[in-house]
Structure 1
Amino acid sequence: MKKILIIEDDPIIGKLYHAQFEKAGFQVELAADGQEGFYRVQEGRFDGILLDLMLPNMSGLDILRKIRAQKTFQRLVVVVFTNSFLSEMFDAANEAGANRIFHKSNLTPKDLIEVVNQELFLAKKADDGSGGDGDAGEDSRPGRPSSTTYRQELIETFLKRAPDAIAALENANNEFAEASGKAESANRLQELYRKLHAFSGVAGLAGLKRLGELCSSLEALLVEMHENVGANTMSTRRTVTRSIEFLKKQFPSLAALPETADQAARVLVVDDEAMARRAATFALDLGGFEVATHEDARASMELLSKRGFHLVVLDETMPGLTGSQMIARMRQGPPNQKTPAILVLGRAEFEARAGERLPTNLDFVSRPYPFAELAVKALVLLLAHQVVDIKPLKMVEGE
């Protein structure tokens, strides 16, 4: 009997996979955080590991790097499954030595069991010296989910629980905002992350990709705020609050968004400073956006009129034309009358203007910003633009 270790901190997802792998004939152990998972790997003799990347106490990437550094575990099968839509996370896991990497929304448990069986088969063939060809080769690996019924049941369960989960997120964020002192603030932030991670995990399993992308980016921002005190600013806290408010208000429409919506959203970044353009490009690349940049505000207005962009990111203090003046010109008529915009402000100006009531297609961010914050802002504005014409999913009443 093959023995696997599942390292997953969300109890719902962990129990679901534990039950499915046991039914498939595996001996299964479950670790609920990164530190426990790493110790279990050292103590047990496992044939394979299912590894989440976003874990408390020790990240999945750290676990993967540590075990691959040990000769004993260099050929151990490690399949990464994650909520993260950030390409950087996938690249890092691949570089660290994962056998396979999947987003949770792309595989049902049945598909994941097949993947694990294939990787164990290939590992055994390699150990036997007979190569990796055979019936479980690359061509037979699954792609998109095959179980429509399973996915529909997950969506219905998720819709039933979502209002309570979002309310819990809102309460956790309020407690974080009211925390006094660094220690209490860190604890409240960690609790907010835990609740968001659980919500994001079930959204991913249910195949709600647009919703998963937003939650994944917001998770990354919370991690950065927790690990870097300098990232816990008035701007990032406002971004978190507005994102949760958006989730609460638009959840039924977000859940109904098709997967193909804006898969490669085009973003124009206009800033006269080269370093600022590079920083914005890097941040937006993490979110999977197609980014174009321009250093001249006036010339970029002509570019906007000729080429369609889904979003613009504008520095406020540019020579010749400020970001606010650019937005005013865009709003005069097509084709950019409704194009969402992010205005990058200095910290003092951000604090002075943070209380302004803004239209749904405009938001502020304070420089310097964590990379994840700009990705979250961009996703919220784009999704707000998309859900206008979406018929919301009918919410399922709880039991």
Structure 2
Amino acid sequence: MKKLLIIEDDRIIASIYSKKFAVEGFNVEVAEDGQAGLDSICSSRPDIVLLDLMLPKITGLEILNRVRAMPAFEQLPIIVFSNAYMTSVIDAAWKAGATAVLTKANTSPKMLTEAIHDLLAKAAAASSSAPATPTAAEAPATQAAAAANEAEFQATQRRQFVASIPQFNQGIRDLHQTFLKTEDRTQKCAVVGELYRHIHVLTGSSGLVGADIIARISAAYEALLKEMHDKPGNINVSTTRTSTQTLLFISALLERAAQLPQLGGFDPVVLAVDDEEISRRAVMASLERAGVRGVACENGAAALEQARSTHFDLVVLDVDMPGMNGYELCTKLRAHADYRDTPVIFVTGLSDFQSRARSTLSGANDLIAKPFVFVELSVKVLSYLLKARLAVQRVL
């Protein structure tokens, strides 16, 4: 029986995976913090480790670095769970010696099970001088039974997830209200950290039960909150507005969790218009981080031409452009039937943000202050695209 060590501080997720892999025939051990996890690796010598990077006491990255420095564990398969939006953390995990990096928002229990079996098979082949014996294909009846068990497991976990929503939802709303009311910078940052930990749990649990719409926006919001917590200078009127809007959207999604469809076929295209090359690159980087395709234009005339030949699902416009400014371009776009309801986000300077936020948006749906944190625009764009998708499906 293979030993699987799960290093995860969220007891609910750890318990679910523990039961899942015990049924799969593993001897499962759980460590709820980084220090306990490191101690367990040294004492229990597991065959494979499932490691969350965001842990108390010792982080997942520290565990990776320490374990890989020990000759006995140089080849130990370690699967790391991370957030797709935290690219620097993912890069650090690979450099520290992760065997595989998966994202909680996009990894189902079935996918994780397959990854674990695959890595164990590779480890066995690498340690043996003889060629690995091919695994016999499962009989159709066995495959059908496994699929039925997986479906029942998912259904059970989803029911439990939905049952836990009211208390969790109220908790994150209360935390955000505390954040908005807190004036002291240090205390405000602490509240953001607590909210981040809650959303981190939501990303994992929603991904686990296949609630992919919630998992997608939760992962982005989690990354924004981490930026705000780790770099308090990023807490400003723009990020606060985006945080508030996103939390309310997530709250609405949670209230309808039992009725939400799957996200399949979600492939939006966004038009980004800015006369400054650096700003265009920033917008395109934000779109890429959100997993959204983008087309960039440097002026209003080029943007209108693009809009005639390609239908865009959302438009990001710089307000202060020479010639045709963002307001004028937005008005011209709204004159076309195809763009009357298309979400439009204005990009404006932080010094002008409050006055413009209080005045008319001149046909736009929202605005963001530059220079912006990339993931803030990722969150805002993703929120509006998902809202539009759900509106068409008459879910929201």
1:283-305: CA deviations, max 9, x gaps?
21111111111111222112112
Moved more, 154-163 or 18-27: 18-27
1:216 equivalent in alignment to 2:219: yes
Give me the whole-angstrom Cα distance separating, in 2, the residues matched to 1:273 and 1:352: 23
- Matched to 2:268, the amino acid is A
1:30-75: CA deviations, max 9, x gaps?
2223454345435542221101234455543454355335443321
- Matched to 1:51, the amino acid is L
1:182-202: CA deviations, max 9, x gaps?
332222111111111222221
- Matched to 2:32, the amino acid is A
Asked if the contact 2:190–2:229 (Cα under 8 Å) also holds between the matched residues in 1, the reply is no
Give me the whole-angstrom Cα distance separating, in 2, the residues matched to 1:359 and 1:22: 58
Partner of 1:303: 306
1:102 equivalent in alignment to 2:106: no
Partner of 2:166: 163
1:373 equivalent in alignment to 2:382: no
Which residue of 309, 313, 316 maps to 1:313?
A: 316
Partner of 2:112: 112
- Matched to 2:227, the amino acid is E
SS in 2 for 1:328: helix
SS in 2 for 1:267: strand
Partner of 1:2: 2
Moved more, 1-10 or 334-343: 1-10
Aligned identity (percent) is 33
Partner of 2:140: none
Deviation of 1:157 (Å) = 2.2
Partner of 2:41: 41
Partner of 1:397: none
SS in 2 for 1:339: coil
Give me the whole-angstrom Cα distance separating, in 1, the residues matched to 2:132 and 2:152: 33
- Matched to 1:293, the amino acid is A
SS in 1 for 2:30: strand
TM-score w.r.t. structure 2 length?
A: 0.86
- Matched to 1:259, the amino acid is L
Moved more, 107-116 or 148-157: 107-116
- C-alpha distance 90-183 of structure 1, shift in aligned 2 (>3 A): closer
1:184 equivalent in alignment to 2:187: yes
Partner of 1:198: 201
Asked if the contact 1:360–1:384 (Cα under 8 Å) also holds between the matched residues in 2, the reply is no
Give me the whole-angstrom Cα distance separating, in 1, the residues matched to 2:313 and 2:58: 37
Moved more, 22-31 or 175-184: 22-31
Asked if the contact 2:86–2:223 (Cα under 8 Å) also holds between the matched residues in 1, the reply is no
After TM superposition, the structure 1 = structure 2 runs for residues 1-399 of structure 1, keeping only pairs within 5 Å, are 1-42=1-42, 44-56=44-56, 58-82=58-82, 84-86=83-85, 88=87, 93-94=93-94, 96-104=96-104, 109=109, 112-131=112-131, 134-135=134-135, 146=147, 147-251=150-254, 256-262=260-266, 264-355=267-358, 362-392=365-395
- Matched to 2:342, the amino acid is T
Asked if the contact 1:298–1:320 (Cα under 8 Å) also holds between the matched residues in 2, the reply is no
Asked if the contact 1:217–1:287 (Cα under 8 Å) also holds between the matched residues in 2, the reply is yes
Deviation of 1:168 (Å) = 1.0
- Matched to 1:345, the amino acid is T
Gaps of 5+ in 1: 394-399
- Matched to 2:15, the amino acid is K
Give me the whole-angstrom Cα distance separating, in 2, the residues matched to 1:133 and 1:62: 36
- Matched to 2:20, the amino acid is Q
1:259-278: CA deviations, max 9, x gaps?
2142x321111111111111
- C-alpha distance 249-150 of structure 1, shift in aligned 2 (>3 A): same
Asked if the contact 1:253–1:391 (Cα under 8 Å) also holds between the matched residues in 2, the reply is no
Q: Which has the higher contact order (CA 8 A, sep 6+)?
A: 1
SS in 2 for 1:130: coil
Q: How many residues align?
A: 385
Moved more, 20-29 or 340-349: 20-29
SS in 2 for 1:338: coil
Asked if the contact 2:109–2:208 (Cα under 8 Å) also holds between the matched residues in 1, the reply is no
TM-score w.r.t. structure 1 length?
A: 0.86
SS in 1 for 2:123: helix
Moved more, 19-28 or 211-220: 19-28
Deviation of 1:377 (Å) = 0.2
Moved more, 17-26 or 196-205: 17-26
Q: RMSD of the TM alignment (CA)?
A: 2.9
Deviation of 1:251 (Å) = 3.9
- C-alpha distance 334-110 of structure 1, shift in aligned 2 (>3 A): closer
- Matched to 1:120, the amino acid is L
